[in-house]
Amino acid sequence: MFNMSELYSPKDVCRELDISYITLWRWIKEGKVKADRLPSGRYAIPRSEVERIKGLYEVVFKHI
């Protein structure tokens, strides 16, 4: 389990990456995004994952 201070809520991740919740949920289910399941049943995404995805966006959109 990750340090709680380094976890993002799905809502925060969607806002940060400018994606829909459905897209994020699908990526989690497909294993494209690593997410931790909290005791409440909600997802939490580590900061390292958010940074990794941001890096992928930069690579993809830099070449467009």
pLDDT in tens, 17-27: 999 999 999 99
Per the structure, how many domains does the chain have? Answer: 1
Spatial separation of the C-alpha atoms in residues 19 and 3, rounded to whole Å:
24
Q: Number of helices and strands (H, E) in the chain?
A: 3, 3
pLDDT (0 to 100) of residue 28: 96
Predicted confidence (pLDDT) per residue in 25-62, tens digit? 999 999 999 999 999 999 999 999 999 998 887 766 66
Domain that holds residue 36: 4-62
Q: What does the pLDDT read at residue 11?
A: 96
Name residue, tokens 């459905």. 22
Distance CA 9, CA 15 (A): 10
From CA 15, how far away is CA 31, in angstroms rounded?
20
List the CATH number of the domain containing 43.
1.10.1660.10
